[in-house]
Chains A and B, each alone.
Chain A
Amino acid sequence: MEGPKIYGEIFGLTITQTVVNTWICMAIAIILCYLLTRNMKKIPGKAQVIAETLVTVMDNLVAQTMGKDKMKFAPYMLSLILFLAVSNTAGIYGLRSPTADLNCTIALALMTFFMTQFFGFKSKGVGGYLKSFLEPMPFLLPINIIGELANPVSLSFRLFGNLLGGGIIMALLYSALAGLIFFPVLIPIPFHFYFDIFSGLLQSFIFTMLSMVFISGAMD
């Protein structure tokens, strides 16, 4: 699997394949949301039922993992899982998955990291926030700081490694199949099913779930 191609430069910002594919994935997610939620009625049609199911499932998940008092995070988490689900399964429709680039996953993990710190600060206050680094004992301060900084690293590397590893295995499989005469079309199907659909959706779920656990853990 090749690294992301560089297309050009706009105002000193490098436009890579990852940037373009991220915009494509965002467009797919936005169009999906628009198609599911247009002309909503009191008696729902098929599309509205799907949209309502998604929102209800996410609300229940947030209520279970973070608690009923943190329901305001449900929209963010649903957007996050929607974007991740679209971009992790991008391999099926022939795009290079944007999350197979460390830049994209680190950006997402830093969002979770700053949300963790900000909402921990907001709900505990200055004293409580600083005191949480001295628990359970004051001399564990360096360990606590390293532990906080390790969260975005492990979050981003997990997503990146899974997606890139899957992509490398698919690329190796395709290069091996190039010399094969029989059934080179059918063999990749189960591999695509595992690496793109199962692993991709599982990783997007895991990322969202761990974000929820970190943020609610910092708040109470």
Chain B
Amino acid sequence: MEGLDFIKACSAIGAGIAMIAGVGPGIGQGFAAGKGAEAVGRQPEAQSDIVRTMLLGAAVAETTGIYGLIVALILLFANPFF
């Protein structure tokens, strides 16, 4: 295998591995949603506040997954080694 082909193959595998980072936000957002459901069950009158806080927390928890996505995108489309 030529050097460049090897780098391309490794970049594709690396992009796939980088997207494993998607597991973390999944767990975190699920946890936030579960706690939000609990809180609404306990205090249905505060639903709008709870939903707003939950969405904000879920979006912040998503950040690490987005970093993984950006690393994968850089490896595939903006690779400095190509």
Contacts and interface: CB of A to CB of B under 8 A. Distances in A.
Interface of A: 3, 154, 157-158, 160-162, 164-165, 202-203, 205-206, 209-210
Contacts of A161: 66-67, 69-70
B7 interface: no
A178 to B, nearest CB: 21
Interface string B56-80: 1001101100110110010001000
A210 B62 CA distance: 14
10 nearest A-B pairs in the assembled complex, by CB-CB distance = A161-B66, A206-B59, A161-B69, A161-B70, A158-B66, A165-B69, A154-B63, A158-B63, A209-B56, A157-B66
Contacts of B77: 3
A157 B21 CA distance: 15
Nearest to A162: B66
Contact of A205 (B55, B63, B70): B55
Interface of B: 55-56, 59-60, 62-63, 66-67, 69-70, 73, 77
Interface SS majority for chain B: helix
A206 B56 contact: yes
B69 A158 contact: no
B59 A157 contact: no
Contacts of B70: 157, 160-161
A1 B39 CA distance: 40
A157 B64 CA distance: 10
A158 B73 contact: no
A215 to B, nearest CB: 15
Contacts of A210: 56, 60
A209 B62 CA distance: 15
Contact of A202 (B55, B60, B63): B55
A209 B56 CA distance: 8
A196 B58 CA distance: 18
Contacts of A164: 73
Contacts of B66: 157-158, 161-162, 165
Nearest to B59: A206
A158 B62 CA distance: 8
B70 to A, nearest CB: 5
A200 B15 CA distance: 25
Nearest to A3: B77
Nearest to B73: A164
